[in-house]
Chain A
């Protein structure tokens, strides 16, 4: 038998034109020779694109938090944290299992005490969590980029502050990074415990009802009042208002948002009322990124109205035709309870029913957090965070260090700090910033590297085939199981026209594929098409109203594509690993959400 392995990191061919890409990322993110012996998989769910230098922070900081949480705070017995490496601009990760049984036993005692405290006080802790995260969001919103005038304002002197405004350059930039780190710690605070509860119920259901579809478990657990649905609900309200105010004619597919806004401003009171309602909805509900909050260029609806304005024409049309678009939460809740009740009734013994009640109850208790934390963390907070960094970029551009504000995202955060010190010194000395000569060629070079790397087709996995996958998140969030690994190894004999993944949302449809590699192209999607993408984000929700089915390269049954697809009642196959590589825009495809199979028909 030949030893099975994925490509090993040290043996991969360099990407032409991307020489020197390593300088964009910290040394501790590089593959080491001994990493060839370990199993790594491409985290294309969170990092579907090449990571610009600054955005390296969105892997560095989350992995400091999630690992600390499982390994050092809660003492999960069988797993430490997740290690990451960056190769050709893509993030590869691996979980560090605890294999020594005596060590598992020692960790278990602490796990019981610590996790028990959180589970035992869940509702109170989650209530406090919401307050803490909202306070963090208020903190990041309050950060101001210092203004560096000819002279500091008189009050600085008369108020006795005693230090000049250039001091704030570094302090406030640091504050952004520190708050971002804190946000990620809070993000992961309840996450793994929440997944733990879900995995328990999932495993039980799979044992008691082996034929049960993965999505059925999620349907029994689903929350009704989910924050992540709120932005879409706000859009529907705006569409209803447009119809009520007789402004529906302004919302047509493909229209430029700026022109629509200008036209609204010329529609008197009605237009003014609608614009006021838009402003009210924006804060906070338009702070949803078109991505998942891991790239600076995945702008939020508030930054770029393309996505919400791509969804509005259809909503306006539906409401004008008399459709009720409000989520039928009562009916959905009844349906959820009926399904859970029916499965419960199929269990044989009273004690199994009692256990079922406990597990489902625990899931429903933890789920408001699981479903809603993304809005607070990846969307609302992160939108604000990138806006602040962009504001520092604007200062650097204004001071001539960079050509434009967004160039700041081609510097690592420590390099940004250097550039800010340059500004601080020049302002203090009356000299000139030296950064233009230093940074501008680097930015230009890195833009070229990012471009070159974006054509690299990242293997789904690298290194050795693992013996066991011990981390609950790897299965539930990334959807990676022993079966996935077999598929990646090419163990099955499907032909090139078949792609397999998780049956995330039931139903079978045929349609024309639209392959979107870059989330900013989401506006291209047309009514009735099948969306094929590396990963989808919750803010794509409104677009789900017009597509026939969704297919993604990465994601498990609890990924957001799956949740949103079920909500919209459309078939979805997620975690295929290769859909965007095998399917082309314009292909006619059949999506079988019952079996998790996508077939290219022509």
Chain B
């Protein structure tokens, strides 16, 4: 098992969920599949564990402190978790971890030719259960972070989120041991997105696997994901490439704060509101990319993507689509003894069941 504090995306794949979390493993795997993703690295679960082991809260280890909490005691829980988070966010991590993250960020800056490279810092959970992730609030994302110190600070924010009231309550109620806890953090170059959105390799509306459904809007994808804007909707046939378009009036967009930190949410200029946010060529490229990813994983995918100012398409994330997977088990048809028995089944009307 790897004990390195950081791993570049190019060195990981789907098999590395335990080390770099689901997001990190997925991004590495996409790179392996030949998909363009913004470059970056993962701060590993080993780095997290090393940090936790190195800290104490009121003379006790963090796992001991959590074990002492009572999920039924709301006040005690709030105070106890706040205490843990404060320690985790304030105390410097072990030198080895800090040095690893700082060096990896420097290498990333070098790779991208920008000494103050803006990055996204996101938590990358090791759990397979996305319901657990959302319940436990492990979806932290910090955009437009730059400078090694700031990166380290936001990595600690991600770690601290594991000790939110909700997250701790969840573990205590389910009896999940603190020693099993793992959390990686993904640090990834920010794409200056002209347009972005999400896409499904099947229709989220009907489950139809013969189409790719793309939602797109101006600016950063957070506007689409948060529901701040009604995006353009494109449905692309995998069989014929035909595109069904619904161009929305896109009133809001999220853009990097010009001051260089974080994101601002403003109105889309009037002349852009009713213009399709991606071109037909970009739709075609997104659809082709989505098919490659789906084929690579062998199951329908839920993908976040962005197009930068140069018109380059990037994938930011891909995960299995789960809503329709269950319904797929209902078979729509089975072969009959003779082909025309299908006609009898459909047009036969009501009749006494046999036997």
The answer to whether A595 touches B244, judged by C-beta atoms less than 8 angstroms apart, is yes
The answer to whether A209 touches B210, judged by C-beta atoms less than 8 angstroms apart, is yes
Give the residue name and chain of the B residue nearest to A353 (CB).
B335
Also in contact, A351 and B335, with CB within 8 A (given A197-B340, A211-B210): yes
Among B211, B242, B348, the residue within 8 A (CB) of A111 is B348
Interface residues of B in 206-251 (CB under 8 A from A): 206-211, 235, 237-240, 242, 244
The answer to whether B209 touches A209, judged by C-beta atoms less than 8 angstroms apart, is yes
Stretch at the interface among B59-67, B191-199, B260-268, B326-334: B326-334
Also in contact, A101 and B350, with CB within 8 A (given A352-B332, A355-B342): yes
Among B240, B343, B345, B350, the residue within 8 A (CB) of A105 is B350
- Give B352 Cβ to nearest chain A Cβ, in Å: 6
Give the residue name and chain of the A residue nearest to B210 (CB).
A209
Any B CB within 8 A of the CB of A494 = no
The answer to whether A115 touches B239, judged by C-beta atoms less than 8 angstroms apart, is no
Contacts of B242 in A (CB 8 A): 213, 506, 594
> B interface, by DSSP: helix, strand, loop or mixed?
loop
Also in contact, A210 and B338, with CB within 8 A (given A197-B343, A595-B244): no
The answer to whether B347 touches A78, judged by C-beta atoms less than 8 angstroms apart, is yes
The answer to whether B211 touches A211, judged by C-beta atoms less than 8 angstroms apart, is yes
The answer to whether B352 touches A212, judged by C-beta atoms less than 8 angstroms apart, is no
Give the residue name and chain of the A residue nearest to B334 (CB).
A351
Any A CB within 8 A of the CB of B351 = yes
Also in contact, A216 and B239, with CB within 8 A (given A355-B334, A358-B336, A594-B244): yes
The answer to whether A343 touches B239, judged by C-beta atoms less than 8 angstroms apart, is yes
Contacts of A135 in B (CB 8 A): none
Contacts of B350 in A (CB 8 A): 101, 104-105
Contacts of A339 in B (CB 8 A): 239-240
Contacts of B235 in A (CB 8 A): 211
Interface residues of A in 340-364 (CB under 8 A from B): 342-343, 346, 348-349, 351-352, 354-359, 361-362
Stretch at the interface among A22-30, A198-206, A405-413: A198-206
B238, B332, B348, B352, most chain A CB atoms within 10 A: B332
Interface residues of A in 190-237 (CB under 8 A from B): 193, 196-197, 199-200, 203-204, 207-213, 216
- Give A4 Cβ to nearest chain B Cβ, in Å: 27
- Give B340 Cβ to nearest chain A Cβ, in Å: 4
- Interchain CA distance A361-B338 in the complex, whole Å: 11
The answer to whether A210 touches B334, judged by C-beta atoms less than 8 angstroms apart, is no
Also in contact, A362 and B333, with CB within 8 A (given A212-B208, A594-B244): no
B206, B211, B336, B347, most chain A CB atoms within 10 A: B347
Among B211, B238, B340, the residue within 8 A (CB) of A116 is B340
Among B328, B340, B352, the residue within 8 A (CB) of A348 is B328
Also in contact, A108 and B348, with CB within 8 A (given A343-B210, A348-B328, A358-B336): yes
- Interchain CA distance A98-B235 in the complex, whole Å: 40
Any B CB within 8 A of the CB of A112 = yes
Contacts of B210 in A (CB 8 A): 209, 211-212, 342-343, 346
Contacts of B335 in A (CB 8 A): 351, 354-355, 357-358
The answer to whether B348 touches A210, judged by C-beta atoms less than 8 angstroms apart, is no
Any A CB within 8 A of the CB of B113 = no
Any A CB within 8 A of the CB of B346 = yes
Among A111, A209, A351, A357, the residue within 8 A (CB) of B208 is A209
- Interchain CA distance A348-B324 in the complex, whole Å: 13
Any A CB within 8 A of the CB of B203 = yes
The answer to whether B346 touches A199, judged by C-beta atoms less than 8 angstroms apart, is yes
Any B CB within 8 A of the CB of A328 = no
The answer to whether B340 touches A120, judged by C-beta atoms less than 8 angstroms apart, is yes
For A155-194 the 0/1 string (1 means CB < 8 A from B) is 0000000000000000000000000000000000000010
Give the residue name and chain of the B residue nearest to A100 (CB).
B350
Any A CB within 8 A of the CB of B258 = no
Interface residues of A in 271-311 (CB under 8 A from B): none
* Interface residue ranges, A against B (CB under 8 Å): 76-78, 98, 101, 104-105, 107-108, 111-112, 115-116, 119-120, 193, 196-197, 199-200, 203-204, 207-213, 216, 339, 342-343, 346, 348-349, 351-352, 354-359, 361-362, 472, 506, 594-595
7 contacts between A and B (CB under 8 A): A116-B340, A204-B333, A210-B203, A216-B237, A216-B240, A339-B240, A362-B339
Closest 10 CB pairs of A and B: A104-B349, A119-B340, A355-B333, A210-B206, A77-B349, A354-B335, A358-B339, A101-B350, A105-B351, A78-B349
